[in-house]
Amino acid sequence: MLLSLVLHMYSMCCVLPAAVLLGTAPTYVLAWGAWRLLSAFLPSRFYQAVDDRLYCIYQSMVLFFFENYTGVQILLYGDLPKNKENIIYLANHQSTVDWIVADILAIRQNALGHVRYVLKDGLKWLPLYGCYFSQHGGIYVKRSAKFNEKEMRKKLQSYINAGTPMYLVIFPEGTRYNPELTKVISASQTFAAQEGLPVLKHVLTPRIKATHVAFDSMKNYLDAIYDVTVAFEGTVDDKGQRKEAPSMAEFLCKECPKIHIHIDRIDKKDVPEEQVYMKRWLHERFEIKDKLLIEFYDSLDPERRNKFPGESVNSKLSLKKTLPSFLILSGLTAGMLMTEAGRKLYVKTWIYGTLIGCLWGCCSGLTQGLTGKRCVASQRWS
């Protein structure tokens, strides 16, 4: 009975936050949808400013759970930018929590509403969120030959023209690093060897396309690139071998005591513009990440494991930045669910919001497919 109680309490650790985060989604989408309609005839910068504020409110609530609720310790190393900048954020990718890590840094610069992601195309089918991420400035991309460069450049240029603040998050590996997926790691290492590039151990060989297109499109708009390396403490087994990073559910169950984040701020003038040189530069940046992670996981000196080289700053997020958002969104949602009309609106938002998102996904996929075919045809013709 005691074991059952313990297991029940453990599961509740992540069930409660998940219920609130998902439960407030219709409320947020309704607020955003109302503003989208009201701002239809206003200049895009007005829509973007309020949308960024709304996004900041929702993501602050997310951080209430992922930081304040879990009690995770955030340790920052390297360059610690304090001011808002237009940047590209390049990081290693190992967990679904990596998306939250970008928020963790952005809120400390008061730039949380400016976070936008380059996302894999399949995520556009997420109920409610899939369509919204695109409206907030996210860019969905397909891998390898299906990558639509023209569409990505067009979208980035529209943001530049509108003066949209940019905190663009890219994971150049293209998929998550999981030490248990040995075939994926082996294929990545084989590709690097074939290309004459150093083989990496704790990260995958980075892909260049999205990073190059983003930088080339925004080089006159950007201030810098943030090269971010992330390690989750507690991801080593009894034999000293690295294991899979925590999922969002595991993280909310307080299975990760510390996140170590190393930041290198790179001025845009130090980044090569031509793709062939940028490819080598990006791989060199991932070589640096790999060395940091080898030190973190594999150092022969036990005193040097579970931390990055150099001094760290224990950065604690104040409840003042997150609790109000939690109270506002949960309060509005609770108020809606207390009336019959509100409950009907809530359910309809889930149903019709999901259907509209699916319709949007189909239409955007068709448009991108036709654009991609025209690009291929023009390349063949030329």
For range 216-237, the mean pLDDT:
94
- Residue 382 in domain: no
User: Does residue 15 fall inside a structural domain?
Assistant: no
Which tokens is 272 given?
A: 């090569």
Place of tokens 């919001």: 353
Assigned domain for 105 exists: yes
For residue 226, the enclosing domain spans 20-361
Q: Is the pLDDT of residue 377 over 50?
A: no
- Counted domains in the chain: 1
In a domain, 4, yes or no: no
- The per-residue pLDDT for 190 is 95
Tens of pLDDT, residue by residue over 78-108, are 988 888 999 999 999 999 999 999 999 999 9
DSSP string, 106-172: HHTTT-GGGEEEEEEGGGGGSTTHHHHHHHHT-EEE--GGG--HHHHHHHHHHHHHTT---EEEE-T
Other Cβ atoms less than 10 A from the Cβ of 184: the count is 16
Q: What is the DSSP letter of 85?
A: -
Residue 367 lies in a domain: no
Question: Which is nearest to 168 in space by CA: 137, 212, 134, 131?
Answer: 137
Query: Which among 138, 279, 121, 136 is positioned nearest to 215, based on CA atoms?
Result: 279
Predicted TM-score (pTM) of the model is 0.90
Residue 138 domain flag:
yes
pLDDT tens, position by position, 100-112? 999 999 999 999 9
| Cβ atoms < 10 Å from Cβ of 145 | 7
To the nearest whole percent, how much of the chain has pLDDT over 70?
91
Instruction: Report yes or no on 355 lying in a domain.
Output: yes
Q: Residue 229: CB partners within 8 Å, gap ≥ 6?
A: 91, 92, 261, 262, 288, 289, 292, 293, 308
Each residue's pLDDT tens digit, 5-40:
333 444 567 788 888 999 999 999 999 999 999 998
* 381 domain residue, yes or no: no
Per the model's pLDDT, the better-predicted residue between 358 and 153 turns out to be 153
d(CA 255, CA 235): 10
- Give the pLDDT of residue 382: 30
